[in-house]
Amino acid sequence: MKPDDLALIEECRNGNMEAFGQLVDAYQGPVFNVVYRMVSDRDDAEDLTQTAFVKAFENLDRYDPKYRFFSWIYRIAINEALNFVSARKRIAPLDGDLESARPNPEESCGSSETGRRVQEALMRLKPRHRAAIILRHFRGCSYQEVGEILGMQEKTVKSTLFSARRILRQALLNSGVVRP
């Protein structure tokens, strides 16, 4: 927990919106990127990031300072993304006439062809495996932090990452990003 985060949160609780703005400035990039990697759609990621911050704002009184603020906001954002992905998966046309909503590959915004393929490979992982990979390898969270955010024990985090990377490698292999 950075001391200045704690001070900003205290000011937010006292109604200082500028303090909340500073928290948004500090964390909107990481949170948006986590959510984007989870859902693979910029518009949905923007909506979900916004929802996560507003929920955090409305629940600051429930924030426990023994956890780092970024862990807390990541947890809220990941839960939003997991709920969203779950709802999207439930779309089941009766007769196959309507296509369920899926991210448009054109909307994937990696900076390169490889970036796009990496994102597509990520989307082949189970959502919780994807979340673990994103937190660990895109955001540099420790195993303990990944565990806190995803509600897993550390050893589960390690085994999840281990499995997820193998699946990811296979997906990257299939898409030609890595060579056999």
Partner 1 sequence: MIDHRTADLMERDLDGSLSAEEGRELERRLQADPEARALHAEMVEVTGHLRAAGDVAVPAGLRGHVLAEAARRRAPSAQGRGTGSRRGWWLAPAPGLRYGAALAAGVALGLGMAAWLLAWPPAGPGLDLDALAGTMAGPDRREAVLEALEVSLPGVEGRVELRPTPAGYLLEPILRAEGSVEVRLLFDADEVDIRGFLDPEGDPAPFRVDRGELSWAHRGSRRYAVILAGRTTGEASLALEFSASGRRLGGGTLRLPGALADPGGA
The residues of the shown chain that bind partner 1, judged by CB under 8 A, are 15, 17, 20-21, 24-25, 28-29, 32-33, 36, 41-44, 46-51, 53-59, 62, 76, 79-80, 84, 87-88, 90-95, 97-102, 109-111, 114-115, 118-119, 133, 137-138, 140, 158, 161-162, 165-166, 168-169, 172, 177-178
Least distance between partner 1 and beta carbon 55 (Å): 5
Measured over all CA atoms, what is the biggest interatomic distance in the chain, rounded to whole angstroms?
57
To the nearest whole angstrom, how small is the minimum distance from the Cβ of residue 81 to partner 1? 9
Q: Closest CB to partner 1 among 3 and 62?
A: 62
Q: How far from chain centre, in Å, is Cα 57?
A: 18
- Cβ 48 to partner 1 shortest distance, Å: 5
Residue 119, CB-side half-sphere exposure with 13 Å CA sphere? 24
Say whether 156 sits in a helix, a strand or coil.
helix
Q: How far apart are CA 170 and CA 11, in angstroms?
A: 48
N-term to C-term CA, the chain: 43
Least distance between partner 1 and beta carbon 99 (Å): 4
Q: Which is nearer to partner 1, 9 or 133 (CB)?
A: 133
Locate 132 and state its tokens. Answer: 């673990």
